[in-house]
Structure 1
Amino acid sequence: MPLLTLITQQSLDEDYLHVAERRAEQRRAASLGAEPEAPPTRRGGGHRTAAVVVAVFGIMVATAALQTSRNADVDQAGRSTLIDQVLTARAGIADQQERISRLGDRIAAAEATTAALRADRVTEEARERRLAARTGYGAVEGEGVRITVSDPATGGVLVEDRDLRLLVNGLWQAGAEAVSINGNRLTVLSSILLSGTTVAIEGRDLRPPYVVSAIGDSRTLQADLAETASGALFTQVAAQYGFGVERQNVSSMTLPAARPRPLRSVEELVVTPPGPPRGEENVS
């Protein structure tokens, strides 16, 4: 052991030193003719020193062993604590991962629902635009025809509401998508009436010439109009009374939306198949 060897060597070195000093004194005394003193024995002292050293070393070893045991217990406790903390952290991470997975599923479901709602909204907006265009309560743009009807230049019978109704009905039958007269959009509820000597639409008087604009296929709309019963009758009446009629294909035109008309009363239409519908819609 390094410590024991050091202590032993130091003890032996001291003994050798005393022996050397004693021998030097004996030689000095012999040279002077004196009796040399008997060297004191250090045998017992050497054993005692070695015993003390061994005892001290034993105490140190015991202390070190005890401290090592205590440190081992502390290290073991610390290791167990760390293991518990690691296991607890892993369990917490597993719970969080499971929660993240559930939230991810909910987010995916919500995104799918949102996408479906957006698609439904786009579909409904398109349907609303189509209905607004067909009913007259939405502005429309496209190709079509413009027919200008004027009173006879020589006087006589003037253009009346029934004449314009023939023309408008013929355009609808020919496939027109939207119709207006002098910028007044016609709807499913519009009425063309004669007010004195002028034609009125929804109470608004019109002045000749009457410009009838219709959106549709400009390549076929005029021909299809001539083939309808209403269109053919309008052409006959116009020729009979000398109305001025000018027809023109238009590549692009815009018809404004009609003014909203509030419904005063509505009744549900109940249909019982296979018989005819009972009840009717009452709009006034």
Structure 2
Amino acid sequence: MSPRIRSGITVAVVLALSGVLFTVSAQLSRGGESRHAEDLSAVVAEESDRVAALSDEVAALDAQIQELSSSVSGDVPRRPAELRAEEGVVSGAWPVEGPGMRVSLEDAPSSSLSIENVTADDLVVHQQDVQHVINALWAGGAEAMTLQGERVTPTSAFRCSGNIMLLHGKVFSPPYVVEAVGDPDRLQAALDSSPGVAIYRDYVDWIDLGYAADPVENIEVPAASGGQDLEFAGVPDGTDVFS
């Protein structure tokens, strides 16, 4: 039986500060989920320069924050520690550690081209394949996550072209590895119930695309590094984000 078509399945993008799911590549998905390779050389150069500039800006701002914080009176009201911790996890500012799941996606071997009706495009892990895994893990209650070792934040966006990925101004090749901190049973159940992941696994059976999902006793998710801009999202008027 022919495998189902790996079409994009949209998962709702929700503001991260509300504590609900957010879609990792919302910024880049507005142009559609193309299954054809693009020339990323110009994008890579532009993003690398942007990341370097933003990282320098973040370092300078951090220094200003430390200087201002040291001069603040101890009588100034502060937000509760629990709220500050929650904000730090959601924004990616705080590292997170605990049990979770590791999911790996790998291109199929070139020998699979000998299978009837298979094209070279079928052998490659695509952007929507990674998105389906990430969104399923968020739906399964993931507290924090990395993609290729990079902390996934509300403003994270990635783009795949052929067998390369551009993420946070860096270029990666498969296997693509997603690690999520959370209850392993819930995370596995969310992967098993995801229609998008099921379609990918049809291709795993058909042309030997790589897929592995394993519980991990302890995963260390680092704090996000570098600057990331929030271009479109915002807090609705009247929303109290500090209670």
Pairwise TM-score range, normalised by the shorter structure: 0.5 to 0.7
Partner of 1:199 in structure 2? 165
Q: Give the alignment of 1:141-156 within 5 angstroms.
A: 141-153=97-109, 154=111, 156=120
Confirm whether residue 126 of structure 1 aligns to residue 86 of structure 2.
no
Partner of 2:16 in structure 1? none
Q: Deviations over 1:173-232 (max 9, x none)?
A: 222121211201111111120245311212211121111111110123102221133333
Q: Give the alignment of 1:157-176 within 5 angstroms.
A: 157-176=123-142
- Could you say if the C-alpha distance between residues 209 and 199 of structure 1 is closer, same or farther in structure 2, counting changes exceeding 3 Å? same
3-state SS of 2:199 partner: helix
Larger RCO: 1 or 2 (CA < 8 Å, sep 6+) = 2
**Aligned equivalents of 1:243 and 1:204: distance in 2?**
24
Return the match for 2:220 from 254, 260, 275: 254
Q: CA deviation at 1:269?
A: 5.2
**Aligned equivalents of 2:232 and 2:187: distance in 1?**
35
**Aligned equivalents of 1:228 and 1:264: distance in 2?**
28
**Aligned equivalents of 1:204 and 1:267: distance in 2?**
23
Structure-2-length-normalised TM-score:
0.55
Q: Deviations over 1:121-175 (max 9, x none)?
A: 472x332221221232321001101111111133542112221111111111222
3-state SS of 1:258 partner: coil
Return the match for 1:222 from 188, 192, 210: 188
Partner of 1:136 in structure 2? 92
Return the match for 2:178 from 198, 208, 212: 212
Aligned alpha-carbon RMSD (Å): 3.1
Q: Is contact 1:137–1:258 with CA below 8 Å preserved after alignment? A: yes
- Could you say if the C-alpha distance between residues 272 and 193 of structure 1 is closer, same or farther in structure 2, counting changes exceeding 3 Å? same
Q: Is contact 2:166–2:172 with CA below 8 Å preserved after alignment? A: yes
Partner of 2:3 in structure 1? none
- Name the aligned partner's letter for residue 188 of structure 2: Q
**Aligned equivalents of 1:261 and 1:135: distance in 2?**
12
Unaligned runs of 5+ residues in structure 2 are: 1-72, 113-119
Would you say how many aligned residue pairs link Structure 1 and Structure 2?
A: 157
Q: Give the alignment of 1:74-113 within 5 angstroms.
A: none
Q: CA deviation at 1:241?
A: 4.2
List 4+ stretches of structure 1 deviating above 6 A.
264-268
- Name the aligned partner's letter for residue 161 of structure 1: Q
Give the structure with the higher percent helix. 1
- Could you say if the C-alpha distance between residues 196 and 231 of structure 1 is closer, same or farther in structure 2, counting changes exceeding 3 Å? closer
Larger radius of gyration: 1
Q: Deviations over 1:75-107 (max 9, x none)?
A: xxxxxxxxxxxxxxxxxxxxxxxxxxxxxxxxx
Give the % identical residues. 27
Q: Is contact 1:171–1:231 with CA below 8 Å preserved after alignment? A: no
**Aligned equivalents of 2:132 and 2:210: distance in 1?**
15
- Name the aligned partner's letter for residue 227 of structure 1: S
**Aligned equivalents of 2:238 and 2:152: distance in 1?**
32
- Could you say if the C-alpha distance between residues 245 and 202 of structure 1 is closer, same or farther in structure 2, counting changes exceeding 3 Å? same
3-state SS of 2:185 partner: coil
